[in-house]
Amino acid sequence: MNELTGNRIRTTVGKLGLPHLAETINEYTRRADEAKMGYPDFLDLVLSEELAVRDDRRFRQGLRLSKLPHHKTLDEYDFSFQPELDPRKVKDLATLSFIDAKANAALLGPPGVGKTHIAVALAVAACRAGYSIYFTSLDDMVRNLKAAEAAGRLVNKLGTYLRPSVLVVDEVGYQTLERAEANLVFQVVSKRYEKGSIILTWNKTFSEWGQVFGDEVLATAILDRLLHHCEVISINGPSYRLKNRLQAIERETDVA
């Protein structure tokens, strides 16, 4: 490719908003020459590479906006440490069919068993598939909604939790809510009902929702909408964090 043609192509693709192609056109033509590609194959190469770059850029931007605490995947989850957890149930969730159906997923179990890890891993997979994600603890969501309501901005703030395709609500059950706070949660859940998915982590049984939400009727209304279309996975096993701490103590004891 002569210099004049190359410059003209780079100018054109720059105007088309394809900066990566402008930077790599010489590399693509070199690969095409070496492989003796025909015109359709060369065009397929260029478009495929540009799409991959755009998808990766969108994925990274989505992760940045998601507020996820980390970006762990299911490959990093130690299923052998939770023998009562069937990996197939989690991997079924990872197909993201529940998100396509605008259904929910609930991960139940005591602290430390990896509920948040699985929730984040599902969110990362959903983000890679093109879904918008937002992560929050229940406590943070309630605090932010209360502040917005006091400032007369509740409707706008609700949008933070209603717009994403997938809302991850972590650490439900750690603190008891007042009825007004539970009502804010109800607004989020009811407005997302059959319109967007919620991934929930919960450290108590569903029978204890009335205690946590401060009102049996309101708790039932929230549960009714959450569980109507919901995949529920219980993880009843030892704590990863406690395991790591005990191992560290054992190493310190051995050294001593």
Q: What percent of the chain has pLDDT over 70?
A: 93
Tokens of 129: 């598939």
Which pLDDT score, from 0 to 100, does residue 127 have?
Answer: 97
For position 92, what pLDDT does the model report? 96
Mean pLDDT of 182-207: 93
Q: Output the six-digit token pair for 223.
A: 């549960």
Question: What are the C-alpha distances in Å from 250 to residues 240, 244, 246?
Answer: 15, 10, 6
Least confidently predicted of 84-93, 100-109, 126-135, 170-179: 170-179
Say yes or no to pLDDT of 253 above 90. Answer: no
Report the C-alpha gap between 82 and 114 in whole angstroms.
9
The token duo for 117 is 């890890």
pLDDT tens digits, residue range 188-197?
999 999 999 9
CA distance 67 to 147: 19
In CATH terms, the fold of domain 74-242 is Rossmann fold (3.40.50)
Banded model confidence at residue 249, pLDDT cuts 50, 70, 90: very low
Backbone angles phi, psi at 105, to 5 degrees: -135, 135
Closest-CA residue to 188 (of 140, 236, 231):
140
Structure token pair of residue 238:
């030892």
Return the pLDDT at 170: 96
Give 230's contacts (C-beta < 8 A, 6+ positions apart): 103, 104, 105, 106
Residue 19's pLDDT band (cuts 50, 70, 90): confident
Position 154 pLDDT exceeds 70: yes
Task: Give 219-232 pLDDT, tens digit per residue.
Answer: 999 999 999 999 99
d(CA 39, CA 44): 9
Q: What residue segments make up the domains of the chain, in order of their start?
A: 3-64, 74-242
Residue 18 banded pLDDT, cuts 50, 70, 90? confident
Whether the pLDDT of residue 199 is over 60: the answer is yes
Gyration radius (Cα) of the chain, Å: 24
3-state secondary structure of 174: coil
- Cα–Cα distance for residue pair 248/23, rounded to 1 Å: 49
Residue in 50, 5, 4, 42 with CA at minimum distance from that of residue 24: 50
pLDDT given for residue 120 in this prediction: 98
